[in-house]
Structures are given as C-alpha cells and as structure tokens.
Amino acid sequence: MANENHPGAGTLSVWAGEGKQSWWGSTQVPVVHSVAFGYPDVDAWQAAALGRAPGHIYSRNTNPTVAAFEEKVRILENAEAATSFASGMAAISNTLFTLLAPGDRLVSVKDSYGGTNKLFLEFLPRF
C-alpha cells in the first residue's frame, strides 16, 4: 500500500531513479544521444571509467538515459542492481556466456527465440 513515505508502483514507474540526476530543469529524463563523454582531465576520466566516480565513458556501455531506466527497474523490482540490453539476443548471449563454463551442459527446446539455436549449436560448443 502506498503512503507518503513509500510511494506505490504507479508513482515509482514514473519517478523512481530520477531524483539523483540533474536534468537542467527538464521534467522528463532526456534521451542522451552522445556517443562519448568528456572529462576535465585524464584522472577524472579514469575515475569514471573504473567506477570510482560517477560518470559515463561510452554510450554503448552506459549513458544517463540508460542509467535512469536501469535505476527505475532496480527500484521497481526492489533489486540490488539492474541492467538492460539493446536486444533479446544480447540479453540471451550475455546471460549464457556469464553463467556457463567449459564442460557445462545446457538443455533447451528446439524451437527457441531468434538466433538462440544458432548460439546453442554453433557458438557455445566452441567454448
């Protein structure tokens, strides 16, 4: 149940994860199209690149728009962290390459999503 100190899912789905960022007065999180992000010096860049300081280096990895989305999902799911992917195959391959080790066996149905069978039959056996 929502109250003043604990907003409901509807409120969280709109506003969660947006309070920490400065969006220069915008009322919604802007879509950031920048590919790379600049820093005043190499030390500041390195701190952001290594996760020692907040910041983004390259949009394929992270950017402010994606960070706001992932924080919103993390809050809605009451999770420790959240990540997102650009496609279903990116999510599937990342999960498989993260969890499987040489010698592991994977059981799946033959009719699976997209190129997943190709991943199962051609790519994973090499590893």
Contacts 24+ apart (CB under 8 A), 13-22: 13/72, 13/76, 16/71, 16/72, 16/75, 16/76, 17/68, 17/69, 17/70, 17/71, 17/72, 17/74, 17/75, 18/68, 18/71, 18/72, 20/71, 21/64, 21/67, 21/68
Q: Name the pLDDT band for 64 (thresholds 50, 70, 90).
A: confident
- pLDDT for res 45: 94
Q: What is the pLDDT of residue 81?
A: 94
| pLDDT at residue 53 greater than cutoff 90 | yes
Per-residue pLDDT averaged across 42-55, rounded?
94
Per-residue pLDDT at 127: 81
pLDDT at 114: 73
**Which H/E stretch holds residue 122?**
none
Which of the four pLDDT bands, split at 50, 70 and 90, describes residue 18? low
pLDDT digits (tens, 9 = 90+) for 65-118: 888 899 889 999 999 999 999 888 989 999 999 999 988 988 988 788 878 888
